[in-house]
Structures are given as structure tokens and as C-alpha cells.
Chain A
């Protein structure tokens, strides 16, 4: 077991350092890259918090959808193969539901402010 702070606390500390202390000292391209760096750490923090649950749910759905076991990577490759070879149809409701849930969870970690996520008809209205 690792000592405190947790990895989530560490990346949060670094992100806050960049935003509050480093960025005000920077200009132009470097300031832009610092903003991107802080956003990248925010992705890492969200993944540390939400990733395990999102991956577990995706994994469980994939096993049901494909009727077999395997690693997350193996099952995603198998899913791609079945879509490509028409083993699963584009309009299959179970496929549509799986992809919708998986993508919502992914983009909630990657880019939660993105308009396509904020206004997705698949999210409950605010």
C-alpha cells in the first residue's frame, strides 16, 4: 500500500500548481501548452475517480453482448471484428445501448464540457 498522498491528490496538486502559480508567469505558446497540460491532468484525475467503475461496467456489458469472456482489450477487438463482418448489425438495439453507455462514460472522463456530451439526447435532462 502506497503512502499518502493518493495518486489523485498528487495529480490534483500538480494541476493546481500549473493553474494558480505557473500559468500567470507564462505567455504565448508556453501559456497555451500549460493550459493543455492542466487539462490533461484533469483527465487523469477524472479517470482515477471514474475509470475503474466505467471499465467494469463496459466489461460486464461486453461479456453479455458477445457471450464470451476475455480482457477488455480482447473483447473490444472482438466487438470491432463482429461489427465489421456483420456478426452484429449497426441497428442492433443492444449494440446501440452498449456503445451509447460506453461513450457517455468515456467522454465524461475525457471532455465533460464538450457540447456533444452536454447536449446529448442520451443524457437525462438537467
Chain B
């Protein structure tokens, strides 16, 4: 396979910026949409082989990133702060400069492990880690929330009310009636936390963004939705049933209990967290995922993505509706 056209520019930037690397090899695209690319490659030289990742937004495509995504340079800055705060993250040895001619982006270490939920929740090699994950996630989140938010003053501040209004507006735009979503909005509105202490939050703390090994969480990835908000948001999001991948009775990510999550959180110095605050954000997160399914269908309906996947995902909104019904009306079986 031929090398992508930016390979020489990447090699120049890396060999200049990182001591002990003289060349790059095995550059291959991992994932990402049209606006955001993730590439895997190895640096070679005096240090031997260094497994690396490039996250970049090619020039001219930056505007297509999600409206809520932070700039890649900010993402890199937050990851470095998280590392200092004791959060497991990939090291970020270099942030791209304009003169590198690669577009905005950064280089990070490639951490080995698994992100696919079904493997983490079912495979034997993770059996010992699973019962410990909820507590570990609690500790990690407490450390994320303890990061000095003054260090990242360019992050968007999204208090609960603002996020509520944001999703209400998106839902109203689609003008298609979902009575279950209306009830969820009403339930949330009646319980909106008045003035929680706002902290840095990860914003997408769930399976897929957690690199996990037999020893537990090795790295927290995908910081592009980080913002300043209610810390309970992160704890609630990982409890959303969609992220339990069938292991419905283990509320936290399909691997653990809220009590363990809260215990880990308190153990690492997290303050004033309660099951009730987590439940609020679990409800909110479930509603958000339902509205995101509507949004993805809109990409099909509007013609920007005519794939069968975008069309079909609209019919997954009802998954979140049954989850909301189960939360809103928790009738016990006779």
C-alpha cells in the first residue's frame, strides 16, 4: 500500500521533535470520520521501536468537527494535565505546529489493550479485572474532576441547565413527537441540580474510550468532548444501559455496581457524590443518546450521509425509550 501524502511531513516533524526517533514506519489509518483522523505508526531509531498515534484534523476540514468538540490542541493540553493528576492516559510527546504542515493535531503513545466492550465483558482474560473496574473508574473520575480547571480556561462551561436547554432545542428542531422523551425532559427539569460545583469533566467516559487490559484501565481516551460541567455527568454516563452491552444488571458499564463506583470516587478524594446525582445523569445520558440517534438519522434524511447505517440508527431511539420507561416507571414484577 502506498504511503499517505503527509507521511514525509510527519516524519520530518517527529524526527525533529522527539529525541531518539530517526524515521517512521507502518503508518496506517485506524478510524475517524471525515474531519478527524487517527493514524497508528512506529517511530524507529536509537530508542528502538516507539508505538505512536497521530490524531489530526486535516487543513480545511476543521470546521466539520462536531460543534461541541474541543480543538485538538486543547485536547492534548487536557490529556497532559490528566497525566499529571494521576489519570491513566497515553503520554503526549508532541503537539503539531503550523510549520509542520500537517493541520492541527498531536502525537500520543499507543497503549496496548482492548476497547471493545463485548470482549472486555465476556473474555476470560478480563475476568479478574472486571470486578475491580467500577471502583477503578470511580478513582479515575475523582482524579479527572480534581484537575485545576483554571489551567484550561478555554473549555466551554456547560452547567446542567445549559446542557438541558441544548438538548431540548435539538429535539424541538426535529419536530417529531416522542412522548417518552417529553416525560424524561420534565422529570429532569424538576430535578435540575441548582448550583453544583463545576469541574473539568471528560464528557464521554464509557466503553470504547477506555483502553482496558487484564490489569484494569490502562488509558482514558477520546477527550474531544471534555468541558466544564457537573462532575456527576461522567458517573451517570457510564451507567447508561446502552453502555452495558447486554449486562443490564451490572449498572456501571456492564461490569460493576454504583456503590463500587462511588466508593472508588470517595477513596480518591471525590466530594459529595451520591447515587441520586448519578441517577439524574443516567436518565439525562439515556435521553441524550436517544436524541443523538435522532441526529444521526437526520444526516440520512438531510442527504449528507445516505448510508443504510445512518438510516437504520433512527430505529434505535426506541432502545433508549424502553430504558427511560424502565427508569421512570420501575414497576416491580408481581
**Complex formed: what's the CA distance from A31 to B184 in Å?**
37
Q: Which of B178, B182, B244, B247 has the most CB of A within 10 A?
A: B182
A33 beta carbon closer than 8 Å to chain B: yes
Contacts of A76 in B (CB 8 A): 177, 179
B179 A121 Cβ-Cβ under 8 A:
no
B273 beta carbon closer than 8 Å to chain A: no
Picked from A80, A102, A115, the residue with its CB within 8 Å of the CB of B244 is A115
Contacts of B186 in A (CB 8 A): 83-84, 86, 90
Contacts of A25 in B (CB 8 A): none
B259 beta carbon closer than 8 Å to chain A: no
Picked from B190, B307, B319, B322, the residue with its CB within 8 Å of the CB of A90 is B190
Contacts of A55 in B (CB 8 A): none
A77 beta carbon closer than 8 Å to chain B: yes
B183 beta carbon closer than 8 Å to chain A: yes
**Complex formed: what's the CA distance from A106 to B332 in Å?**
21
Interface string of A24-59 (1 = CB under 8 A from B): 000000001100110110010000000000000000
Q: Which of A99, A118, A125 has the most CB of B within 10 A?
A: A99
B241 A115 Cβ-Cβ under 8 A:
yes
Contacts of B323 in A (CB 8 A): 116
A107 beta carbon closer than 8 Å to chain B: yes
Interface residues on A, range: 35 or more
Q: Which residue of A lies closest to B313 (CB)?
A: A36
A63 beta carbon closer than 8 Å to chain B: no
**Complex formed: what's the CA distance from A90 to B181 in Å?**
11
Q: Which residue of A lies closest to B249 (CB)?
A: A119
B318 A106 Cβ-Cβ under 8 A:
yes
Contacts of A43 in B (CB 8 A): 312, 315
Contacts of B122 in A (CB 8 A): none
A119 B177 Cβ-Cβ under 8 A:
no
B177 A116 Cβ-Cβ under 8 A:
no
User: Do A120 and B319 form a contact, CB below 8 Å, given A33-B307, A33-B309, A80-B182?
Assistant: no
Interface string of A51-92 (1 = CB under 8 A from B): 000000000000000000000010011011001101000100
A111 beta carbon closer than 8 Å to chain B: yes
Q: Which residue of B lies closest to A117 (CB)?
A: B322
A-B pairs, 7 with minimum CB distance? A76-B177, A83-B182, A116-B323, A110-B318, A110-B315, A107-B318, A40-B312
Q: Can you spell out 30 A-B residue pairs with CB atoms less than 8 angstroms apart? A: A37-B312, A76-B177, A80-B177, A83-B179, A83-B183, A84-B185, A84-B186, A90-B183, A90-B187, A96-B328, A103-B318, A103-B325, A110-B315, A110-B318, A110-B319, A111-B316, A111-B319, A114-B322, A115-B244, A115-B247, A116-B241, A116-B248, A116-B322, A116-B326, A117-B322, A118-B248, A120-B325, A121-B332, A122-B331, A125-B333
